[in-house]
Structure 1
Amino acid sequence: MSDPGTTPAPEPLPAAPTLESSTGAVGAPPKSIRQAVALMYAGAVVALINVVIAAFSKSAIRETLEKQHAALVEAYAKDPTKTKPWDLSKLDSYTSQAWLMSMISGAIFVALWVILAHTNKKGNSIARIIATVLTVLNVLFTVANLLGGFNLATFVYYVVTMALGVGATYLLWRRESSDYYNAVKASRV
């Protein structure tokens, strides 16, 4: 019995959650999965920012197409065997198409980041494989684009998204992550 003037001893803290309980239920994702998911959500935010920037870049797309057209005209004038320039009257149509494609592809990237974050958090091992494949493709695509020339904004975007993808993929393949995926798989059997 405790002394009336003293405070009672604190109750012990509950045990840390385990991956699999005696009932087969899987506990919370380990720290490596939670960190990977956070990086994926950060990737979605970066992709969303890119979409917002692209939404206001229609005039820049038009300028780029005008420069490409001028280069084609110059090359074709020197050598008619080169690619024939496209009809400049279609510039508005081509600008709108390029802008729309950048918006659609940006929305797809945002969705992929979010979906992969959500499914990996739930322990779906197929999502881990898909995230890994997409990260490898992203690294290859980034290297190819950076070798072809870039501006500072493009460089920053590619490097940041590549770093987020590589970091998340590394965390998804840590031992505690693999144990979590295995425990989720075993609980579904």
Structure 2
Amino acid sequence: MTIPNDDSKPDQPATDGVVPPTPDAAGSVPPAAAPEQPVTPPAPAAPDATYPPAPPAPPAAYPPAPPAAGAPGAFPAYAATPAAPVAAPAGPPSLVNTAFWLYIAAAALSVISGIVTIISVSSTRASIIEQLKNTDGVKTNGLSFEQLADASIAGVTVLSIITLIFWAVVFVLFAFFMRRGANWARIVLTVITVLSLVNIPWGFFAGALQVIAAIVATVLIWLKPSSAYFAAVKASKAPRA
């Protein structure tokens, strides 16, 4: 027998197994809990476009690079063998020493020649005055013959002193450098010897001896043993390889 539905009671909705909330003591019904949302996994990060892609691997057709120095299997590096040092000569040869003393003698003869020239010119004062008096048309510019003679003697004396000091200092100075093996000093002494030829007419006997000594010394420093000495000194001062 079927019991009809009671119209005085409202129909209960179907809960599909969910228990409806129970009213509390005040008669209010709490809100139903929201159903749980499914958890979505995070999306993978996009690749950074600022970095370029890795270069492709080199083809296998190229041979591998040789091992670096010091790496296992590398060939040892051998340093170049330094050149053997050239020993400087123990001392100048006899020809260079002889030339050195001849240049010193030329310097001394230059001083003697200058002193002789000064004395000779000073002793000719009277003859110079007499020659000026006997010469017609001499322009004295308001000076007496004695004053003209004294001026001429003073000029010759100063020139002689300068000349003797120059030749003495030059010969001695460059002779020392030459004996030490300086080739440039040998060249300078050669030029000075050529220039000293002008002393022959003015240097009397001592001046002629000075020129002869300088010429002989110059010939000696250009002979083969002397040239070998200068070349050896130059090679010993050259930078090593």
- List runs of 5+ in structure 2 lacking aligned partners: 1-83
State the partner residue of 2:183.
Answer: 125
| RMSD, aligned α-carbons | 2.8
Alignment of 1:20-169 (within 5 A): 24-57=87-120, 59-60=122-123, 62-63=125-126, 65-66=128-129, 69-70=132-133, 73-74=135-136, 76=137, 84-86=138-140, 87=143, 88=145, 89-139=147-197, 141=198, 145=201, 154=204, 156-169=205-218
Query: What are the superposed Cα offsets for residues 84-123 of structure 1, whole Å, 9 maximum, x if unpaired?
Result: 5344334333322321221121111111221122111111
* Structure 1 residues 177 and 100: CA distance shift in structure 2, 3 A: same
Residues 69 and 85 in structure 1, CA contact (< 8 A), matched pair in contact too? no
| Larger RCO (CA within 8 A; separation ≥ 6) | 1
* Structure 1 residues 186 and 49: CA distance shift in structure 2, 3 A: same
Residues 61 and 99 in structure 1, CA contact (< 8 A), matched pair in contact too? no
Q: Secondary structure at the match of 1:103?
A: helix
State the partner residue of 1:174.
Answer: 223
* Paired residue total: 151
Q: Name whichever of 90-99 and 100-109 sits farther off.
A: 90-99
Provide the rounded CA distance (Å) in 2 between the counterparts of 1:31 and 1:127.
18
When Rg is computed on C-alpha atoms for both structures, the one with the higher figure is: 2
Provide the rounded CA distance (Å) in 2 between the counterparts of 1:68 and 1:175.
54
Provide the rounded CA distance (Å) in 1 between the counterparts of 2:97 and 2:139.
51
Structure with bigger helix share is 1
- TM-score, L = length of structure 2: 0.53
